[in-house]
Amino acid sequence: MLFKSGLLLKLNFMQVATSTSTDGHDQVFNRMSGVARYIYENAPSYSVAGYILLAVIFVLTAIVYHLGFARTALKKWQTAVIYAFLFFGCIILTFLAFFLPMVEGLIVAALVLIVYKVRLRRDKKREAAS
């Protein structure tokens, strides 16, 4: 009886070990953040999914920069330099976005800044009218 239960335990361990090695993608997908998982599950290939995630992060970062930090009109070359550095920073954010909710955080930041800008414009119009 002890031999049977030990053999059964070994067989169960072997079955679990083989299932986790073949289902490694499932473990990674379960640890990914929501938007990154959605992109990787629906993209045609993994390399395309990485570029899509980079593009999403860059667009959201540019929106947050424009709404929150761009104060004055700059020269075109200065704007190009800013967006080039912004792009290089987005590469680092893309690596972090696999397992951290970077895209979700950028969406929330953009929404907060949009609400702020709308209320600021409404207050300026009220002051100008009175």
pLDDT of 110-126, one tens digit each? 999 999 999 999 999 99
Predicted confidence (pLDDT) at residue 16 exceeds the cutoff of 50 = no
Predicted confidence (pLDDT) at residue 20 exceeds the cutoff of 60 = no
pLDDT of 70-109, one tens digit each? 878 889 999 999 999 999 999 999 988 888 899 999 999 9
Write the DSSP string, 63-124. Answer: HHHHHHT--SPPPHHHHHHHHHHHHHHHHHHHHHHTTS-HHHHHHHHHHHHHHHHHHHHHHH
Residue 57 CA to residue 78 CA, distance in Å, equals 21
pLDDT of 49-75, one tens digit each? 889 999 999 999 999 999 988 878 889
* 23 — pLDDT class (breaks 50, 70, 90): low
Is the model more confident about 26 or about 79? 79
**Average pLDDT across the chain, whole number:** 82
The first and second tokens of residue 66, run together, are: 């424009």
What mean pLDDT comes out for the span 1-25? 49
**What's the pLDDT score for residue 111?**
96
